[in-house]
A and B are shown apart, each in its own frame.
Chain A
Amino acid sequence: MNRRSILKAAGTFMAAAAAVVAFPRMVFAGYNAKAFKNPKMDDSMNELFGSSTTAPSGEIKLKAPDIAENGAVVPIEISTSLKADRIAFMVKENPNPLAIVADIPAGTQSTVKTRVRMGKTTQVMAVVSADGKLYTASKEVKVTIGGCGG
């Protein structure tokens, strides 16, 4: 190996390392059956975030109705001032609590809005992953008519 090839190899390595640093979150989770088809919230969190240790945070805004007349369509909105890279939303007493996971690349705001189904009155929880830690916000939603079929 002469000097030139060593330099070239080093250069390639540096470029690769720089690419990794520049785009640390280019890998998107996609659908993960182990996390979604799972009745236990902690197991889902371990699958998604590699941890189930969470701390409540006042910097997460979780908008959901106090009373949902129709459990088939419950509007929710999660937004946070934390620098989130991933946001998940769970409905505690649904057959599978995890409803949605959103990946937030750099440049995208930490907010997501959708509509979920709820089987019955229960706690709903937003889980935000930011700076390697997990933060949560939860709220109880009363459901008049359940929306999980049956």
Chain B
Amino acid sequence: MSSIRIKAKERNGSVDVKTLMKHKMETGLRKGKDGKKIPEHWITDVTAESGGKVVFAAAFNTSISKDPYLAFKFAGKKGDMVKISWKDSQGKTDSAETKVK
């Protein structure tokens, strides 16, 4: 299952996108039970594409909350596809796609 949940809804030519990515977003400042710092591990880049075009791109720091939430709006219409993908500090990636409602 994908780690990403997307909701995309059109209103007056503008698509409202809300997305939730499941990721622990470890800051590198927290200590584990053994008293050692837990190494940082977080999503660095998020890209949103629609119709073969990048419609939104963001870069995150470790200060973005766990299981990041991101919302934005772009010009589009009902039935368009929106694809969200992320990349984390360990080079892992994931993506998900949804149809605009």
Contact = CB atoms under 8 A, between A and B. Distances in A.
Given A100-B61, A148-B63, A105 B68 contact: no
Question: Per DSSP, are chain B's interface residues mostly helix, strand or loop, or mixed?
Answer: strand
Contact of B55 (A94, A107, A112, A114): A107
Nearest to B89: A31
A117 interface: yes
Question: Per DSSP, are chain A's interface residues mostly helix, strand or loop, or mixed?
Answer: loop
B66 A72 contact: yes
Contacts, number: 109
Contacts of A108: 55-56, 72-75
B55 A105 contact: yes
Contact of A99 (B30, B47, B64, B75): B64
Interface of A: 26, 28-32, 36, 72-75, 91, 94-96, 98-105, 107-109, 111-118, 147-150
